[in-house]
A and B are shown apart, each in its own frame.
Chain A
Amino acid sequence: MNKTWINSIIGLLAIVGVVAFGFWLSKDPTDDFQASLPGADNRQAGNLIQEIVRIGENFNLFGAKAPEMNGTWSRFRGKNFDNIVSEKQNLKDTWTGDEPEILWSVELGEGHAGPAIYKGKVYLLDYDEESREDALRCFSLADGKEIWRRSYGVHVKRNHGMSRTVPAVTEDYVVTIGPRCHVMCVERESGNLVWGLDLVKEYGTEIPQWYTAQCPLIDGDQVILAPGGSTMMMAVDLRTGEKLWECPNTMQWKMSHSSIIPMTFQGKKMYVYSADGGVCGISASGEDEGKVLWQSNAWNHSVVAPSPVVLEDGRIFLTAGYGAGGMMIRIVQNGEQFDVEVLDEYQPREGLACEQQTPIVWKGHLFGILPKDGGANRNQLVCVHPDDVKTMVWTSGKDHRFGLGPYLIADEKMYILDDDGTLTMIKPDPSGYIELAQKKILDGHDAWGPLAIADGRLLMRDSKTMVCLAIGK
């Protein structure tokens, strides 16, 4: 082969190489990639249907009578905000045969709203799907007959239930918060409307996912609310609806599913609220009433349902679902100021964590049910010591798993309701899981509404039905 041929071949190869290199250089291997940008779901602007809501506009009197009783379960988590019934109940130690007897049942709108009980009457903020109304319904605890109903028209679409709050009841008044943040106060006996407040309209509250779950707090003559929007927390006169103080929401946090819990630390009373964005303590008395005493955005999760658990020594246990896990903080007084220390923070599989319900402090220990993402102990009732919430004192074991349902302690017995309406009674004890009895009570699903006990009767519900059980001896 002569030299000309060789040079030609080399030249040709060089040209091919240069062309190939140029092609490689100019070709973007990601040019067929598509960027995932916001807005690809074509989300429409705006919230739920705008409508004129006249809070408490309708009233129905059904004429039933309720024999007066002594017991009360007057608000979310009870008298001491601990979900422990303080009144002696004399409850059965086990169930046999047909026990516990179902005394009565009522059909409800789909939801998870819990009842409050006050001297023989049951108060529940239901959603009437047929008439499309938030309805505060008053029943007789004795037989479940409806006595009166105070309602107002509001459009609420099904979204994992509609109702999900517990009324706050005093001797004279009942206060409710509806799914779309409508606050209503009525007279307890008559059901007469006292005042109403639209938090979305007046404070720009952003309605949480799956609607409002914050339960109203009545403290003395004040109703304490955490609207989010323009105002972090506020107090309203229980009798008149007049605004007493407002704490501006400079943090720009949003309303969560959690409820306000009072706390007294170093003689200072405060309201603790775990918002969507952070946790804070607002002064409840004195010259600085309504002012932020401390705040922290170290606890920042988009869905927070359990309420803060106030412990000794200024410690507060925080937990939430959707991967959040748990956090222990401590409030420290520093002169006139209060600071927040984060003592521990962990994933749901590393310690006590709860998705919907708030843990209970009992005999110096915390009892709670782990969420589905709680690792090997998922859905189990667990007991931990507040000094080390990541070490299980005991778990209920893989054969005793529960769901997102509520639990409550009365007479040294703990009642646990599973998603499917199965009720379990255990002896809450730091030494171990001691099951006393178990029975399937309801046939529905999503039995998540808080329990209530008074006068030896237990009120529980699934998504559509509430029943009253005789659990007393």
Chain B
Amino acid sequence: MNAKKEHKPVDRRKFIQNGMRLTLGASLVGVTGLASLKLSANDYVWQLDPFKCVYCGRCADYCVLTPSAVKCVHAYDLCGYCDLCGGYLKPDANALSTAAENQLCPTAAIKRKFVEDPYFEYEIEEDLCIGCAKCVEGCSSFGNGSLHLQVRHDLCVNCNECSIARVCPADAFERVPVSSPYKIKGDFQAENNNPDPA
């Protein structure tokens, strides 16, 4: 008996099928590789510098997403925990309360919680935040500036040309390395490698 396997000639159909499989596999590997390279450490994403921001409100209107990928974030270590909070209450509010008519935020995205007399804690509900910067203006003008805006990278689609950056009057938008995607105020700034500032 001949132990040698008999060489079977490949027919044309089989050859084309194998070729297609190989091409598809190579394409998938290539696309996956390119995708992984897209957000490599050397790549850049959009972010806004809160120290340049002039709270013009355009982040809410010009982002390609609705609501905007720009959200308010809170540097708790800078916050004064004031009862009379310029970022939460309208100027000359009737009362220092959570009533709608006293709140500055148009979507009630800031939650106010009593800690102990005379301190209150303020928390941003990001699903409701539209990035209008009204609270940022109030906090920066009358408080410590702990409320500030940031591009949230779990939402941002990282357009090649950011439509907010095009209209930002303060040139606050810039490309930052994906390894340091946030420019957070306060002590958290030292740890801005953390991709989630919340």
Q: Which residue of B lies closest to A207 (CB)?
A: B118
Contacts of B82 in A (CB 8 A): 159-160, 209-210
Docked-complex contact A43 and B97, CB < 8 angstroms:
yes
Question: Is the pair A40, B98 in contact by a Cβ cutoff of 8 Å?
Answer: yes
- The number of residue pairs between A and B whose CB atoms lie closer than 8 Å in the complex comes to 76
Q: Which parts of A37-53 form the interface with B (CB within 8 Å)?
A: 37-44, 46-48
**Chain A CB within 8 A of B120 CB:** yes
Q: Which of B93, B111, B117, B137 contacts A47 (CB under 8 A)?
A: B117
Report how far A48 CA is from B83 CA in the complex, Å: 13
A394 vs chain B, min Cβ distance (A) = 24
The smallest C-beta distance from A48 to any residue of chain B, in angstroms, reads 6
> Using Cβ atoms and an 8 Å threshold, which residues of chain B touch A48?
117-118
Determine the chain B residues whose CB is within 8 A of the CB of A302 once the complex forms: 84, 92-93
- A301 contacts chain B at the CB level, 8 A cutoff: yes
Assembled-state Cα–Cα distance A300/B94 (Å): 11
B50 contacts the other chain (CB 8 A): no
Q: Are A322 and B99 in contact (CB under 8 A)?
A: no
Q: Give B122's nearest chain A residue, CB to CB.
A: A41
Q: In this assembly, does B172 line the interface, its C-beta being within 8 Å of a C-beta of chain A?
A: no
Measured in the bound complex, the distance between the Cα atoms of B92 and A321 in whole Å is 10
Q: Which partner residue on chain A sits nearest B145 by CB separation?
A: A372
A4 at the interface (CB under 8 A from B): no
Size of the B side of the interface (Cβ < 8 Å), in residues, is: 28
B114 in the interface (beta carbon within 8 A)? yes
**Contact present for A322 and B92 (CB under 8 Å):** yes
For A35, the closest partner residue in chain B by CB is B100
Q: Which residues of A, 277-308, contact B by the 8 Å Cβ criterion?
A: 300-303
Of the candidates A37, A46, A301, the one whose C-beta lies within 8 Å of that of B92 is A301
B95 adjacent to A38 (CB under 8 Å): yes
Residue pair B142, A322 in contact (C-beta under 8 Å):
yes
Tally of contact residues, A, Cβ under 8 A: 31
Kindly identify, within residues 81 to 108 of chain B, every residue whose CB is under 8 Å from any CB belonging to chain A. 82-84, 86, 91-93, 95, 97-100, 103, 108
How far is A323 from B140 in the complex, measured between Cα atoms in Å? 12
A36 to B108, CA, bound (A): 8
Query: Is A120 close to B, CB under 8 A?
Result: no
- For A303, the chain B residues whose CB sits under 8 A away are 84
Q: Does B38 contact A (CB under 8 A)?
A: no
Nearest-neighbor residue (CB-CB) of A302 within chain B = B92
A12-60 CB contacts (< 8 Å) to partner B: 34-44, 46-48
B194 at the interface (CB under 8 A from A): no
Contact check, A373 vs B113: say whether CB atoms are below 8 A apart.
Answer: no
- CB of B80 within 8 Å of the partner chain: yes
* Of the residues B91, B100, B112, B114, contact of A322 by C-beta under 8 Å: B91
Question: Chain A nearest CB: distance from B171 CB in Å?
Answer: 16
Q: Are B100 and A160 in contact (CB under 8 A)?
A: no
| CA gap between A371 and B142 in the complex, in Å | 9
Judge whether A79 is part of the interface by a CB distance below 8 angstroms. no
Q: Is the CB of B114 within 8 A of A44?
A: yes
Is B23 interfacial (CB-CB < 8 Å)?
A: no
Assess whether B84 is in contact with A41, with CB atoms less than 8 Å apart.
Answer: no
Chain B residues within 8 Å of A373, by CB: 137, 141-142
Q: How far is the CB of A298 from chain B (nearest CB, A)?
A: 13
A373 to B118 alpha-carbon distance, docked (Å): 25
Given contact pairs A322-B91, A373-B141, A38 touches B117 in the complex (Cβ within 8 A): no
**Distance A209 CA – B114 CA, assembled complex (angstroms):** 15
Complex CA distance for A210 and B100, rounded to whole angstroms: 24
- Of the candidates A37, A44, A157, A324, which one forms a contact with B99 in the assembled complex, judged by CB atoms under 8 Å apart? A37
Assembly CA distance A324 to B116 (angstroms): 28
A-facing residues in B134-166 (Cβ within 8 Å)? 137, 140-142
- Over the window 74-116 of chain A, the binary record of Cβ atoms lying under 8 Å from chain B Cβ atoms (1 yes, 0 no) is 0000000000000000000000000000000000000000000
Among residues of B, the one whose C-beta sits closest to the C-beta of A157 is B118
Q: Are B99 and A38 in contact (CB under 8 A)?
A: yes
Give the residue name and chain of the B residue nearest to A34 (CB): B108
Indicate if the CB atoms of A372 and B140 lie closer than 8 Å. Answer: yes
Give the Cβ gap from B168 to chain A, nearest Cβ, in Å: 17
Taking A46-B117, A323-B92 as known contacts, 4 extra A-B pairs with beta carbons closer than 8 A to each other, sorted by chain A number, are A39-B97, A44-B114, A159-B82, A322-B142
29 intermolecular pairs with C-beta atoms under 8 Å apart: A34-B108, A36-B99, A36-B100, A36-B108, A38-B95, A38-B97, A40-B111, A41-B98, A41-B112, A41-B113, A43-B97, A44-B114, A44-B116, A44-B117, A48-B117, A48-B118, A159-B80, A300-B92, A301-B92, A302-B84, A302-B93, A303-B84, A322-B86, A322-B142, A323-B142, A324-B91, A372-B140, A372-B142, A373-B137
- The 5 A-B pairs at the shortest CB distance, nearest first, are namely A323-B91, A36-B100, A40-B98, A38-B97, A373-B141
